[in-house]
């Protein structure tokens, strides 16, 4: 254990939202403290050519589901029937803890193999399985926000008796007490009311109270699919909650707030966007999932005009991969589709450097971890990804331009390998296949 140096071309997100390119760069870090000591350009002639080696900060995935990984690619249905036919039966299997352990390991290792070092994830409704997921995350060393899924509504779709409101709260508090800020702060508990369709107003209210008193993050889904939006609206109307929109359900229950992550957010009216902005809540864009489940296309640029922070999430298994580069690609492509659907093509399309920034320093900022991770800077934790390019990588790539290099990472995944991943200066074992 001592000082370690990595050499290569560094792609480093900066505070002003751009990506700095450092050719012949080096990163020096302390393996013991896990902190970055120095980063810069090397003038040493002793360093062999490292032109085909790239160093980036570990990426941040802000939305995904651990028990759903074995369900990727289960196609053809929209959100609600998909949940019923494919996803709920899979999640129920998490009551078997050896199975939960295996899937959790697969999930975290898979994320790491794609260069994700921080992930925000839903477990299942089971307290014990959520505990197992934390245990596995701790052993592997990944940074993760994990929450037990809270559901207290009989959706007549979850083929298992659901815990009562009080049980949901108690189980979540127990898990939070055990795991929050554990493993040197790498693990955090996140309160996880699944979505308004599966939560009563009482559960939402109580969750908001407990989470905010304890300073915890909250994650949920909002306005993902048009049928879901209608279903939730009619559900709460039947219970005589006077709310003009689904966002008002979260406003009324006090779920909205600075530490609230709202996944999807496809169908929001201007007053809803205003509410989200005023509350300080964050929108998590899940473009791969939005296409896979035929949910729709989030108008990223339009939401930007509200100055609402937007992050990116893979949303496995609505998304079919834990690759953040794939997620970035779908974010860019979605921005083109949004333009195509508008006659006057009003918005510039998203750029590789932008989506890369959102997936690194931007994601860290949303989690209030930008003093610690998200870019390669002195005194930050050494969460680093080493990428080795194959000869084909440079065919049409301008190696002096960050946007051009990132285009390759995003669009040409066969031209490079993610070779090494470090979290707080410790190299992570990326193997997971067990006999």
The residues near 61 (Cβ < 8 Å, ≥ 6 apart) are: 111, 116, 118, 119, 120, 312, 313, 314, 322, 324, 327, 359, 363
Task: Indicate the residue among 157 and 372 with the shorter CB distance to Zn ion.
Answer: 157
176 close to 218: Cβ distance less than 8 angstroms: no
- Return the number of the residue (121 or 373) whose C-beta is nearest Zn ion: 121
Nearer to Zn ion, 25 or 71 (CB): 71
Residue 29's φ and ψ, nearest 5 degrees, are -140, 160
Tell me the closest approach of the beta carbon of residue 393 to Zn ion, in angstroms: 33
Question: In the window 152-171, what residues touch Zn ion (CB under 5 A)?
Answer: none
Q: What minimum distance in Å lies between the beta carbon of 108 and Zn ion?
A: 17
Smaller CB separation from Zn ion, 195 or 416: 195
Q: For residue 10, what are its two tokens?
A: 């560094």
Residue 239 CB, nearest distance to Zn ion (Å)?
A: 24
Assess 377 for contact with Zn ion (CB under 5 A): no
Give the nearer residue to Zn ion in terms of CB position, either 9 or 168.
Answer: 168
Please report how close the Cβ of residue 290 comes to Zn ion at its closest, in angstroms: 11
Residue number closest to Zn ion, CB atom: 315
Minimum distance between the CB of residue 121 and Zn ion, rounded to whole angstroms? 10
Phi, psi for residue 312 in degrees, rounded to 5 = -120, 145
For residue 432, give the 3-state DSSP assignment: coil
State the nearest-atom distance from the C-beta of 412 to Zn ion, in Å.
28
CB of 99 to Zn ion, least distance (A): 21
Q: Please give the torsion angle defined by the CA atoms of residues 221, 96, 104 and 169, in that order, rounded to the nearest 10 degrees.
A: 40
Distance CA 147, CA 162 (A): 16
Closest approach of Zn ion to the CB of residue 315, in Å: 5
Whether the Cβ atoms of residue 171 and residue 196 lie closer than 8 Å to each other? no
Handedness of CA 171, 172, 175, 177 (dihedral sign): negative
25 vs 147, beta carbon nearer Zn ion: 147
Q: What are 337's two structure tokens?
A: 């589709």
> Do residues 229 and 277 lie in contact, with contact meaning Cβ atoms separated by under 8 Å?
no
- Closer CB to Zn ion, 171 or 315, in the complex: 315
| Contact (Cβ atoms closer than 8 angstroms) between residue 214 and residue 170 | no
22 with 10: CB under 8 angstroms?
yes
Instruction: Tell me what percent of the chain is helix, strand and coil, each rounded to the nearest 5.
Output: 40, 25, 35
Comparing CB distances to Zn ion, the nearer of 315 and 370 is: 315
Phi, psi angle pair for 384, to nearest 5°: -130, 145
Q: How far is the CB of 378 from Zn ion (least distance, A)?
A: 36
How many residues bind Zn ion (CB under 5 A)? The answer is 1
Query: How many beta carbons lie within 10 A of that of residue 54, not counting itself?
Result: 26
Q: Which is nearer to Zn ion, 318 or 425 (CB)?
A: 318
Distance between CA 212 and CA 25 in Å, rounded?
43
Give the number of other CB atoms < 10 A from CB of residue 16.
Answer: 7
Q: CB of 136: closest distance to Zn ion in angstroms? A: 20
**Residue 297-336 contact track with Zn ion, rule CB under 5 A, x = bound:** ------------------x---------------------
Please, which residue, 323 or 375, has the CB nearer to Zn ion?
323
> What are the CA-CA distances from residue 1 to residues 253, 383, 422, 425 (Å)?
50, 17, 14, 10
Provide the minimum distance between the beta carbon of 397 and Zn ion in the complex, in angstroms, as a whole number. Answer: 34
Retrieve residue 315's tokens. 């949303």
CB 80 within 8 A of CB 65: no
Toward Zn ion, which CB reaches closer, 286 or 376? 286
Widest CA span of the chain, in angstroms?
Answer: 74
Q: Which residues bind Zn ion (CB under 5 A)?
A: 315
């Amino acid at each position: 254990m001592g000082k370690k140096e990595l050499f290569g071309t560094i792609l480093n997100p900066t505070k002003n939202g751009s990506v700095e390119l450092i050719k012949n760069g080096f990163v020096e870090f302390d393996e013991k403290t896990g902190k970055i000591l120095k980063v810069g350009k090397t003038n040493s002639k002793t360093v062999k050519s490292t032109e085909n080696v790239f160093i980036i900060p570990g990426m941040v995935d802000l939305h995904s589901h651990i028990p759903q990984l074995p369900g990727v690619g289960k196609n053809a249905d929209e959100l609600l029937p998909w949940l019923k036919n494919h996803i709920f039966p899979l999640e129920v299997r998490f009551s078997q803890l050896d199975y939960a352990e295996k899937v959790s390991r697969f999930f975290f290792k898979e994320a790491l193999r794609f260069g994700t070092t921080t992930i925000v994830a839903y477990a299942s409704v089971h307290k014990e399985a959520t505990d197992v997921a934390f245990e596995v995350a701790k052993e592997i060393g990944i940074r993760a926000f994990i929450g037990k899924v809270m559901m207290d509504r009989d959706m007549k779709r979850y083929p298992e008796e659901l815990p009562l409101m009080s049980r949901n709260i108690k189980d979540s508090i127990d898990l939070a007490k055990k795991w929050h800020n554990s493993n040197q702060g790498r693990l955090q508990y996140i309160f996880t009311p699944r979505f308004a369709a599966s939560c009563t107003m009482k559960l939402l209210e109580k969750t908001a109270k407990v989470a905010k008193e304890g300073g915890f993050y909250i994650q949920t889904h909002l306005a993902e699919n048009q049928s879901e939006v209608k279903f939730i609206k009619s559900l709460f109307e039947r219970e005589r909650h006077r709310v003009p929109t689904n966002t008002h359900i979260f406003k009324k229950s006090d779920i909205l707030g600075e530490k609230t992550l709202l996944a999807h957010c496809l169908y929001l009216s201007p007053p809803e966007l205003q509410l989200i902005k005023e509350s300080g809540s964050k929108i998590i864009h899940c473009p791969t999932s939005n296409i896979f489940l035929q949910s729709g296309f989030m108008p990223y640029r339009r939401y930007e005009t509200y100055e609402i922070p937007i992050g990116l999430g893979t949303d496995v298994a609505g998304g079919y991969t834990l690759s953040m580069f794939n997620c970035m690609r779908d974010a860019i492509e979605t921005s083109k589709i949004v333009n195509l659907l508008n006659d006057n093509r009003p918005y510039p399309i998203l750029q590789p450097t932008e989506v890369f920034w959102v997936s690194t320093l931007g994601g860290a900022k949303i989690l209030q971890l930008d003093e610690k991770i998200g870019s390669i800077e002195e005194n930050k934790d050494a969460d680093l990804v080493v990428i080795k390019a194959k000869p084909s990588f440079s065919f049409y790539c301008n190696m002096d331009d960050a946007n051009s290099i990132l285009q390759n990472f995003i669009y040409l995944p066969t031209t490079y390998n993610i070779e090494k991943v470090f979290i707080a200066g410790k190299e992570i074992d990326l193997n997971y296949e067990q006999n």
